[in-house]
Structure 1
Amino acid sequence: MIFRSEPERINRQAADWLARLHADDRAAEDEAAFRTWLKADPSHEGAFERASMIWDAAGGLRDQPIAREAPAPAPAARLSRRAVMAGGGALFVAGGLGLGWQRAYAGVYRTGIGEQRRLVLEDGSRVMLDTDTRIRFRAGSAARTLSLATGRIDLDIARDTRPFVIEAGERRVIATAARLDLRRDGDDVALTAIQGSARIDAPDVTGKAAPVPLAQGTRIAMAEGRPDRLDQPELDDLIAWQSGRLAFRDETIAQAATEMNRYSTRALVVSDPRVADLRLSGVYRVGDSEAFARSLAVLLPVRVAADGDAIRISAAD
């Protein structure tokens, strides 16, 4: 379990509120809840102002072209935080992904780079596909089976007398009713039980099935040739991708850039070893590699420059 100081917790909440209020699926309930949070403690307003200053700095730099880059497009509409704090005025949308549920039937479903998709499966289960994801679902008389070839999903399994079997490489996950976050990158598989529980059937050294129980709030990381690893991640950070954002907590620029690159064809390139191990924390919008790079230039001693379809991040002179 991760323990945070009170100022760090409040700063994290402020960053999360900022991203939530910029999301396409923001609702009136979100705005009301934000105002309640804002009034709950005098320190909340200062934390939100600081988060907004960083957001605005990253967005405001859009008016300045990256080195050797054609002029950037006009800035997206920004959040009027004073209007929100006062409880009036319209809120603006700055990017994000507006998604509705689609009825799905047995077959193969996929998303492209930067695309997300919500499906209601034949059995009533709901699944959200992240960027560059491919699944296959089959509903039989004895079991329901979902195969994850690549990518990431959030799966809310409907109650049914039939077990729900998830195939990810050599591993099989079995559950009846649960909400799971499942990610597969090649032979690396990570499964988190957000609600409910599951069981992982994994072959042991004798070749027999050795079931591994997965309790709510627990994540298991599985990879060929390496022992399984169990931990308890910060769930709010884990599912941030579903609202079109990524939460980084004390991660290296190299790690963050790799994750951002999953959502865009315009790659972030971190070839300078002086930069790769620098650490950052924050909440960033998926697919906006340019804004991410510009925010790094505000927060850290780095410079960014465009080179064809790539954005290169190097140490500042």
Structure 2
Amino acid sequence: MIFRSEPEHANRQAGEWLARLHADDRASEDETAFRAWLDADPSHQNAFERAAMVWDAVPGLSATDFAPPPPARVSRRAMLAGGGAVMLAGGLTLGWRQAYAGVYRTDVGEQRRLVLEDGSRVMLDTDTRIRFFVRNAVRTLALGAGRIDLDIAADPRPFVIDMGARRATARAGRLDLRREGDAVAITAIQGSARVETAGASVALAPGNRIAMAVGQPDRIDQPELDDLIAWQSGRLAFRDETLAHAAAEMNRYSTHALVVADPRAAALRLSGVYRVGDSEAFARSLALLLPVRVASDGQTIRISSTDR
């Protein structure tokens, strides 16, 4: 394995190692590989120490604790599947609330868990709006905007997901659904779904995601599911993403906007897991990990390249 020693590359690798070592279900061989990476170049130790300091201050648990988790510890995936409590900047939601009124929404920075009339469970992400109703032996959930995790209760009645110009149908299973205007993404976490695309119908297999937008070809891929559902624990996971993309994702959870001020900064790439709802802490971490400067006027946080 070849390790590059450029500072920016080392910082990115340090972020990736923090994400791997911080995961509840990390592989047993990760520590050996991590030690080999540390010993490969002196700059790796410095990069990791800087990143670990930021990690401890921002996302929470220390990534430098490599001891195996105690037996009683519940994995992230099991906790999410069981519907554990979620705390976010906008408020606190405990357990699952029975839902019958039909129309539900969250504000910016808020997450909410619901049990629908048919027994299906849904988690709403920040700034999300849905409507659920049963008519003519068909269950229908309309996603007006935002993102949800939908665990569809087994039922003879079909379950239709209406996302504007796109629709999907399933009878059971778990889906991650996201809509931003005419752009739609559907991921089959468990089970499958049939998705109506432009002039066709596609069977979406478990682990696959389809991204659709007006005027663009549909795209099917296989995302890292643990990263995909990180939002449900109040975090966002980035793997070699551009700073422009990461800032846009963080902005969904806060009214304290991150503004990437120039193309050089926008093109920088980062990896890691970050707590949502605290834009200032995210920006401070960037100033340590990337060649950027950060300035805030109380409402807007401007991020600019130091190489201009």
TM-score by length of structure 1 reads 0.75
Confirm or deny that 1:314 pairs with 2:295. no
For residues 293 and 13 of structure 2, the distance between their equivalents in structure 1, rounded to whole angstroms, comes to 29
**3-state DSSP of counterpart to 1:283:** strand
* Percent identity of equivalent pairs: 62
Is the alpha carbon distance of 1:150 and 1:16 closer, same or farther for their aligned partners in structure 2, counting shifts above 3 Å?
Answer: farther
Q: How far apart are residue 157 of structure 1 and its match?
A: 0.5
**3-state DSSP of counterpart to 2:273:** strand
Q: How far apart are residue 85 of structure 1 and its match?
A: 3.9
**3-state DSSP of counterpart to 1:216:** coil
For residues 77 and 285 of structure 1, the distance between their equivalents in structure 2, rounded to whole angstroms, comes to 5
Confirm or deny that 1:145 pairs with 2:121. no
Is the alpha carbon distance of 1:10 and 1:252 closer, same or farther for their aligned partners in structure 2, counting shifts above 3 Å?
Answer: closer
* Structure 2 counterpart of 1:71: none
Q: How far apart are residue 308 of structure 1 and its match?
A: 3.3
Confirm or deny that 1:268 pairs with 2:258. yes
**3-state DSSP of counterpart to 1:174:** strand
Aligned amino acid, residue 137 of structure 1: F
Q: How far apart are residue 309 of structure 1 and its match?
A: 0.2
Is the alpha carbon distance of 1:120 and 1:305 closer, same or farther for their aligned partners in structure 2, counting shifts above 3 Å?
Answer: same
Q: Aligned runs of 1:273-284 on 2, under 5 Å? A: 273-284=263-274
Q: Aligned runs of 1:88-107 on 2, under 5 Å? A: 96-97=87-88, 99=93, 100-107=95-102
Q: Deviation string for 1:167-214 (max 9, x for gaps)? A: 00111110011110000000000101111110012352xxxxx21111
Is the alpha carbon distance of 1:290 and 1:40 closer, same or farther for their aligned partners in structure 2, counting shifts above 3 Å?
Answer: closer
Is the alpha carbon distance of 1:51 and 1:286 closer, same or farther for their aligned partners in structure 2, counting shifts above 3 Å?
Answer: farther
5+ long unaligned stretches in structure 1: 21-29, 61-75, 205-209
* Structure 2 counterpart of 1:70: none
Q: Deviation string for 1:235-258 (max 9, x for gaps)? A: 111111111111111111111101
Aligned residues: 272
Q: How far apart are residue 150 of structure 1 and its match?
A: 0.2
Pick aligned residue for 1:179 from 157, 174, 187: 174
* Structure 1 counterpart of 2:157: 162
Pick aligned residue for 2:111 from 112, 116, 126: 116
5+ long unaligned stretches in structure 2: 4-11, 39-44, 74-85
TM-score by length of structure 2 reads 0.77
* Structure 1 counterpart of 2:124: 129
For residues 82 and 276 of structure 1, the distance between their equivalents in structure 2, rounded to whole angstroms, comes to 29
Give me the CA root mean square deviation. Answer: 3.3
For residues 235 and 83 of structure 1, the distance between their equivalents in structure 2, rounded to whole angstroms, comes to 24
Aligned amino acid, residue 115 of structure 1: E
Is the alpha carbon distance of 1:314 and 1:82 closer, same or farther for their aligned partners in structure 2, counting shifts above 3 Å?
Answer: closer
Preserved CA contact (<8 Å) 1:153 1:182 = yes
* Structure 2 counterpart of 1:199: 194
**3-state DSSP of counterpart to 2:169:** strand
Is the alpha carbon distance of 1:52 and 1:16 closer, same or farther for their aligned partners in structure 2, counting shifts above 3 Å?
Answer: farther
For residues 80 and 251 of structure 1, the distance between their equivalents in structure 2, rounded to whole angstroms, comes to 23
Q: How far apart are residue 112 of structure 1 and its match?
A: 0.5
* Structure 2 counterpart of 1:301: 291
Q: How far apart are residue 298 of structure 1 and its match?
A: 0.7
For residues 220 and 77 of structure 1, the distance between their equivalents in structure 2, rounded to whole angstroms, comes to 30
Pick aligned residue for 1:285 from 252, 260, 275: 275
Is the alpha carbon distance of 1:121 and 1:45 closer, same or farther for their aligned partners in structure 2, counting shifts above 3 Å?
Answer: farther
For residues 10 and 53 of structure 1, the distance between their equivalents in structure 2, rounded to whole angstroms, comes to 9
Higher mean C-alpha displacement, 307-316 vs 156-165: 307-316
